[in-house]
């Protein structure tokens, strides 16, 4: 199987955006907030809305996408904790419906109702709901709910520990994924996303998180941001701080995806990061939608890059399927139950 672990619902029906506009307008004027959370979106509309993903999935040789709400749409910095919770449940429920309608193509991952300055433990009820009731196999965790200002403690702080305890209990991984940026210095997909990935990894170097949570699994998307390119810098910093070498404390628990949009980048990733820590992903339809004039193919057609790597078939299978089944054990159990 070809399992894409990083897909977002970026082709939502207009009704969802209309609801969000009214919800946010209601922050200024309660009379303008929506009167119901029933969006009136039919199953037929949902299926039609994901036709672009299904088309690319088929054309590019994919089999299954781990599917979550639009990352930029989480916007945890907007509104109150109550607004975040309402919005999160609506978005997660749409993902659930799509996965029920198209179970051979999509498996769900959810967002959390995070809010700046609010304890992550408040997210636990929604985490339990999406895993136990909706059958989701993972979750996206925003390390910066402030939207580019980084006002909450770093990921190694005990502020986050109640959430980590629940992730371990449920045996689901967390993909570290920031949302939109309200800081004008940081373009959200070109700078804020990569900043978030890189910052999260450096925070992990500075602490002992996996000593406290040896079974916690963290996925860093977008190829790990700047991490593979500057692996020597991070190894050196760890050494200077009298930390263990990176492979020992981190690579048992930290994984990277292949959302890197050119062959040299994927080649670098595969040379620096062990194969056991690389999971196939494309982020389609996501940050980059165009066609690369140098290749004639979409930038986010990342399978083409992995296909060109000089790997054994055993290692290629790990990237495309085996590592995803290992890092997402609930996915593996679901697929086995379906005979896949």
**3-state helix, strand and coil shares in percent for the chain, rounded to the nearest 5:** 50, 10, 40
| Residue 313 is among the residues annotated as catalytic for this protein | no
How does DSSP assign 203-232, residue by residue? Answer: HHHHS-HHHH-TT--EEE-GGGTTTTTTHH
How does DSSP assign 258-299, residue by residue? Answer: ----SHHHHHHHHHHS-GGGEE-----SSS--SEETTTTEET
Phi/psi at 5 (nearest 5 deg)? -85, 0
The candidate with the shortest Cα–Cα distance to 176, out of 167, 165, 185, is 167
* CA separation for the pair 212, 62 (Å, rounded): 37
- Token duo for residue 117: 């300055």
Phi/psi at 155 (nearest 5 deg)? -60, -20
- Token duo for residue 103: 């179970």
Catalytic residue, chosen from 283, 294, 313, 321, is 283
**DSSP H or E segment with residue 175:** strand 174-176
Which residues does the annotation mark as catalytic?
283
């Amino acid at each position: 199987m070809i399992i894409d672990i990083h897909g977002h619902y970026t082709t939502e029906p207009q009704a969802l955006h209309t609801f969000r506009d009214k919800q946010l307008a209601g922050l200024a004027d309660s009379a303008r907030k929506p009167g119901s959370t029933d969006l009136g979106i039919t199953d037929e509309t949902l299926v039609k809305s994901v036709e672009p993903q299904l088309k690319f999935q088929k054309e590019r040789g994919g089999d299954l996408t781990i599917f979550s709400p639009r990352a930029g749409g989480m916007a945890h910095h907007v509104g109150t904790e109550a607004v975040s919770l309402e919005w999160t449940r609506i978005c997660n429920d749409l993902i659930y419906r799509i996965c029920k309608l198209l179970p051979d193509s999509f498996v769900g991952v959810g967002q959390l109702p995070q809010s700046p300055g609010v304890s992550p433990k408040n997210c636990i009820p929604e985490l339990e709901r999406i895993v136990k009731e909706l059958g989701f196999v993972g979750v996206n965790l925003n390390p910066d709910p402030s939207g580019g200002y980084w006002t909450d403690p770093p990921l190694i702080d005990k502020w986050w520990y109640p959430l980590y305890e629940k992730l371990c209990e449920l045996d689901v991984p967390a993909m570290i994924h920031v949302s939109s940026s309200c800081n004008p210095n940081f373009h959200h997909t070109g700078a804020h996303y990569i900043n978030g990935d890189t910052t999260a990894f450096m925070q992990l170097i500075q602490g002992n998180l996996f000593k406290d949570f040896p079974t916690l699994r963290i996925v860093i998307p977008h190829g790990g941001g700047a991490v593979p390119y500057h692996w020597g810098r991070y190894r050196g910093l760890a050494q200077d701080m009298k930390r263990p070498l990176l492979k020992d404390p981190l690579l048992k628990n930290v994984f990277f995806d292949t959302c890197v949009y050119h062959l040299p980048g994927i080649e670098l990733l595969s040379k620096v990061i062990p194969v056991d820590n690389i999971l196939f992903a494309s982020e389609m339809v996501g940050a980059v939608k165009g066609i690369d004039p140098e290749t004639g193919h979409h930038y986010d057609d990342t399978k083409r890059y992995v296909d060109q790597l000089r790997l054994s078939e055993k290692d290629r299978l790990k990237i495309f399927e085996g590592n995803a089944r290992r890092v997402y054990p609930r996915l593996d159990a679901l697929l086995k139950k379906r005979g896949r």
